[in-house]
Amino acid sequence: MTHNQTNEAVDTKKTSCNNMARFCSDEGKMIIKKFIKKLSFLNFSKYERKRSIPLLNPSKDEIERLTLKEVDSLASEKKYKKALKLIATSIASGAKTNKILLKKAFLLSQIGQYSEAHEIWEKLSNLTNKPKIAALAKKSLETSKHLQTNHINSVKLLIDTLHAIAHKYQQKLNHLPTSKDEYSGENIIPAIRREAEIARAYELPKLSSDIIEQTLQAGLESPLLINDKALTMSMLGQHKKALEILTSLEQEIKNPSIKNTIKESITNLEKSASHHQTKRSIYLIKQSKVLAISSEIEANCIPDEFNANSELEVKSLIFGVAINCIKTNPKACLRIVNSILDYFPDDGASMQLKGEALAELKRDKEAINIWAKLANSEHEETADKARQSISQLLAQKALLISAEKSPQEALSIFIDEHLKINLVPTFNELITPILNQTEPDNETLFDPELEQHQLQLQFNTIVIQRLEAQLINQSNSKNRSPAQNPAAISKTASKAG
């Protein structure tokens, strides 16, 4: 072999060795990269950018630290299932540490999987060589069992409430446990969603709405419940608001499956808006009939949905059913008139009647709140009737107060209650005995008109005096130094006098 041939062989061998070394190095790096990619919580771009830092296999402690950091971040956003997937990946990579298991148990408890969570905490609480971990696991187990009991009791109460709501609509909820005693802690949101869906299919959107709202108020959360709520709102005529809810929800949700469900709902809502609008009368008829039957009142006046004419006729007939039972069955009256307002929320006559039904049920504050809204109506007749209703109710209250307190106090309360809701206090005949008590020496007038005029003047004078007193009090409170003590001032003034 010549000298040149020898050199060529040597060079070839060196090149081969270099290539082999580079291949081994590259292959090693690829294995590590693949391992790191399995850990979704690692930001691989940092390794790409910092070429000067050697790519090393992270230790179990480092994997634990990074896992827990990312899991805590997800848990703070209530992304418990995503956090559990991350923990599963970490455990599969060999990082099955006690701290990671503690966190897994916590996440399982947050999604209602108490049995699995308690099993993990039970095992960790028996670790004799890890007293801190054991103590933490024991405390977590006790707390979780307490929370589980509260959750189960809350859901049991919800189950009974939902059955009572369905009974009001003459329906049965066959997908829920028949009683709270049959509930053992399972996730009932799918069953509740199914019942709400059936209610919509039966053209009872308010029942669907009541089921969903009661569930949300009980603390059960799910984006799919919000999705179903929007579908129900659309049937009740709140199409624009329903679309706003779904659009906002679709932007927040990351889960592809849920996101697709919401997108489908948006598409369906856009297509069905006019359809639900044309069926408002039918929905109202069906709802009013079942509520009348459950309230044990005559429902023959309510038309059949197949013979329904104009919306105005339907609304008028159902309004007649409600007003006919306001004295004998105000609870039934409230149910029926609420049905009208479910589909025609701005109907002034129905709002007025709702206030009257609430007053009959001694729910005075609610009645006044309803009438106070009507008192600002552009329709003068509607506004005037609402103001008269408020005055009548407050006068009745003043009469009761005057039996226990002075007539001046009773009149002051009567006036102040008007002012609280931005209404001008008006004379009401019911307060005549109270006014007579304030000035017993007034001579009796035999002309009714003159007597009415005198009472009106007397009342107006009291109103003016009351307003002046309030203005003086406000002025004094503004002028008083914040450091001054009203009680001290009172005592000083008393001594000075």
pTM of model > 0.75:
no
The C-alpha torsion from 252 through 254 and 257 to 259, rounded to 10°, is 30
Q: What is the mean pLDDT of residues 2-18?
A: 50
Length of the chain: 497
Q: Is 174 helix (H, G, I), strand (E, B) or coil?
A: coil
Rg, the chain, Cα only:
37
Structure confidence at residue 329 (pLDDT): 95
Helices marked H in 297-447 = 311-324, 330-343, 348-360, 364-374, 380-402, 407-420, 432-438
Distance CA 455, CA 407 (A): 14
CATH number for the domain whose boundaries are 151-280: 1.25.40
User: Rounded CA gap, 284 and 288, in Å?
Assistant: 6
Tokens found for residue 42: 């690692």
Q: Categorize the per-residue pLDDT at 37 as very low, low, confident or very high, splitting at 50, 70 and 90.
A: very low
Q: Which residues contact 197 (CB under 8 A, 6 or more apart)?
A: 208, 228
Mean pLDDT of the region 372-382: 93
Top CATH class of 294-477 equals: mainly alpha
pLDDT band at 106; cut points 50, 70, 90: very high
pLDDT digits (tens, 9 = 90+) for 283-321: 999 999 999 999 999 878 787 766 656 888 899 999 999
Nearest Cα neighbor of 284 from 348, 352, 204 is: 204
* pLDDT at site 31: 42
pLDDT tens profile 155-179: 999 999 999 999 999 999 999 998 8
The 10 Å Cβ neighbour count of residue 184 is 7
Domain boundaries, the chain: 3-38, 151-280, 294-477
Please give the Cα distance from 67 to 61 (Å, whole number).
10
- Cα–Cα distance, 204 to 272 (Å, whole number): 16
pLDDT at 117 (0 to 100): 92
User: How confident is the model at residue 301, as a pLDDT?
Assistant: 78
The reported pLDDT for the residue numbered 209 is 97
Burial class (CB in 10 A: 0-12, 13-18, 19+), 360: middle
| Residues 194-212, mean pLDDT to the nearest whole number | 97
